Amino acid sequence: KGYHAIYDYFHKRHKQSKFKSFISTFRNHLIFGQIVLDKFALLAGNQDQFNIQVEGCDYFNELTTKEKGFIVASAHIGNFELVGHCFKQHNKKINGIIFGGEAKNYQSQRIKSLQKANIQLIPVSDDMSHLFTIKEALDKGEIITMPCDRLFGSTKKYITPFLGTNASFPIGSFRLAAQLEVPVLVMFIMKEKGLNYHGYVYPLQALENDKSSVKKAEYLIKQYVDLLEKILKRYPEQWFNYYNFWNT
């Protein structure tokens, strides 16, 4: 199922031939395996072996010096696990939103590793109590990081063209940003050759002179989707959504 979803992604979304789509699917799985190994190296405390170049880190650094909290939007591409090691700072606590499904031992090791980088994890709960934790963290001037590409059962979705056809994206985090009037950064950490990574940080522009939080959220999410599409055209093989993304 996951194989067919990725094959269709290359064949239909990137208009690759059947043969090239097959090769790209193989490379996608290979890169994913390499990134998983890199994540285990991070858990073991071997982060110094990675070389990470970041574009736009000044946007992040500037926001950490201000009182207001902010949101960092990511996606299931590249290796976002490296964000805490790219931006080691102690001005603001970073709260990473996780969606469960991981083994307890791995999650425990992950928590220990991230604590050294001033990061704590907030698991998504069925009773939605995590939303209060997120709001509380932002009210305290902290940072929230979360992937914003998967619905995870959310009914608050925004349908927009993405890589040639309509796709659904969760809009909840952008509505929260609009309601609380907090800045939003988009951040992608993409794998290059060997142990090299390239980070990209983009600030989203807020919609001024409009009181509607819905319109403000839509303005933000459109920018996010455009940036996601742009980075995937540069790194098409680092898309790690192994399901039919365009039929959700």
Task: Give the CATH number, domain containing residue 186.
Answer: 3.40.1130.10
pLDDT averaged over every residue in the chain: 89
Examine residue 56 and state whether it is found in any structural domain, yes or no.
yes
Query: For residue 125, what pLDDT band results from cuts at 50, 70 and 90?
Result: confident
Plot region of 185 (φ>0 → left; ψ -120 to 50 → alpha; else → beta):
beta
Examine residue 246 and state whether it is found in any structural domain, yes or no.
no
Examine residue 38 and state whether it is found in any structural domain, yes or no.
no
Examine residue 213 and state whether it is found in any structural domain, yes or no.
yes
Total structural domains within the chain: 1
**Position of tokens 């952008």?**
174
Strands of 119-123's sheet in order across: 51-55, 196-203, 184-191, 70-74, 143-147, 94-98, 119-123
Query: Cα angle at 101 between 127 and 240, to 5 degrees?
Result: 115
Are 158 and 224 within 8 A, CB to CB? no
% of the chain exceeding 90 in pLDDT = 67
CA distance 93 to 184: 16
Examine residue 173 and state whether it is found in any structural domain, yes or no.
yes
Q: What is the pLDDT of residue 208?
A: 87
- Across 187-210, average pLDDT: 94
- Across 194-202, average pLDDT: 95
Examine residue 160 and state whether it is found in any structural domain, yes or no.
yes
Q: Is the pLDDT of residue 105 over 80?
A: no
H or E stretch covering 160: strand 157-162
| Partners of 123 in beta bridges | 98
Query: For residue 242, what pLDDT band results from cuts at 50, 70 and 90?
Result: very high
Examine residue 217 and state whether it is found in any structural domain, yes or no.
yes
Examine residue 133 and state whether it is found in any structural domain, yes or no.
yes
End-to-end CA distance of the chain: 15
Q: What is the pLDDT of residue 114?
A: 67
**Position of tokens 């110094």?**
48
Residues of the domain holding 174: 50-235
Distance of CA 208 to the CA centre of its chain: 25
Are 134 and 144 within 8 A, CB to CB? yes
Token digits for 41? 């190296």
